[in-house]
Amino acid sequence: MPALNRLKNWLIVALLCASGWIVIEALPAGPPQESIDTSRQRPAQTVFTPAHSSVRGAISDFLNWRSGPPAQPIAFPHKTHVARGLQCQVCHTGVDQGPDAAIPSVKFCMSCHLVIAKDKPEVKKVAAYQARGEDIPWVRVYNYSASAHVKFNHAPHIRAGVACSNCHGDMLQQTTAVRAVDLNMGYCLSCHTQRKASIDCTTCHY
């Protein structure tokens, strides 16, 4: 009875998957914090592979599962700022010079918000960060899988006149940034082919 056998095998696989998933879900999000010295708490330094910090991360990366936009410490309204005519590069400096755009420090936010809209609750939160001498712990939105060994350099894209919205979506519609585009290799390649940019492997993977 090959049909039954095959079904049995699949059932075993499904059972193992399910139990595995339960175990993964049940495990704590990080290793227990060892408090040897309370004055020097270190972040958890464990890694699953060089590319993934955890098993869950590896599996969801493999299956391209992503949770929704991450919760940010401040509900920063991009749309308000853009609508008032602020250009992206005013805050995200260095995007035309190097691989990464800067995320402004709380000092930069407060250079305007010392006077503008200082009564808004979110701006008060920003002011509180500065008062504590802390920077805002923004959470990364776009990131590629480190296993892809892909490097992205903003500057040549800006020089080639690629609009920020091509990859980041229309910021006039967004409060905190969302992953507007699924940045997989197909997306990159379609644009590179269209614009006759290099599609050599080593252009991005090095």
Partner 1 sequence: MERRNFLKISAISGALTALESCGSPEQQLIRFIPDEDLVPGIATWKPSVCTLCSAGCGALVRVMEGEAEVVRNGRTGIIKMGLAKKLEGNPDHPVNRGKLCARGHAALQVLYHPDRIANPLKRRGTRGSGDFQQISWDDATAELISHLSEIRSSVNGASLACLTRPLRGQRRELIDRFLKAFGAPAPISYEPLDETVLRQANLLSFGSAALPTLDLSRADYLISFGADFLGTWNSPVAQSIGYGEMRQGRAGRRGKFVQVESRMSQTGANADEWIPCRPGMEGVLALGIAHVILSDKLRPRDARSRAFALIAGWAEGLPDYAPDKVTKQTGVSAETITQLAHEIAAAQSGAAIIAGAPLAQTNGMFNALAVNALEALAENGHAEPILSFTPKPPIATAAPNMQAGFPAISAFAQAILKEQRTPKVLLLYDANPVFGSPASIQLREALAKIPYIVSFGSFIDETSAFADLILPDHAPLESWVDDIAESGATRTVVSLAPPAVHPLHNTRAMPDVLLDVAQRLGGPIAAALPWKSYDAMLRSAYVPLRQHSGAAAPPSEDEFWTKITTQGGWWSTPTQTRAEAASAASPHVPAKFAEAEFDGAAQEFPFHFAPFPSQSFRDGSLAHLPWLQEMPDVITTAMWSSWVELNPKTAAQLHIAQGELVEITSQHGSVRAPAVLSAGIAPDIVAMPIGQGHENFSRFASGRGANPLGILAPVTESDTGALAWAATRVKLARVGGAEEGKLVLFAGGMSRFPAEEEHR
* Residues near partner 1, by CB under 8 A: 6, 9-10, 12-13, 16-17, 20, 23-24, 27-31, 33, 39-48, 53-59, 93-94, 97-102, 105-108, 130, 133-137, 139, 153
Q: To the nearest 10°, report the CA torsion of 156, 204, 193, 195.
A: 0
Report the 3 state secondary structure along 154-170.
Answer: HHHHHHCCCCCHHHHCC
Whose Cβ is closer to partner 1: residue 68's or residue 186's? 68
**Among candidates 142, 143, 144, 125, which has minimal Cα distance to 134?**
125
Whose Cβ is closer to partner 1: residue 111's or residue 190's? 111
Least distance CB 125 / partner 1 (angstroms): 15
CB 72 within 8 A of CB 139: yes
**Contact partners, residue 94, CB within 8 Å, separation at least 6:** 100, 101, 102
Q: Give the integer Cα–Cα distance in Å for 108 and 81.
A: 14
Whose Cβ is closer to partner 1: residue 24's or residue 172's? 24
Least distance CB 6 / partner 1 (angstroms): 8
Least distance CB 49 / partner 1 (angstroms): 9
Whose Cβ is closer to partner 1: residue 98's or residue 116's? 98
Least distance CB 118 / partner 1 (angstroms): 18
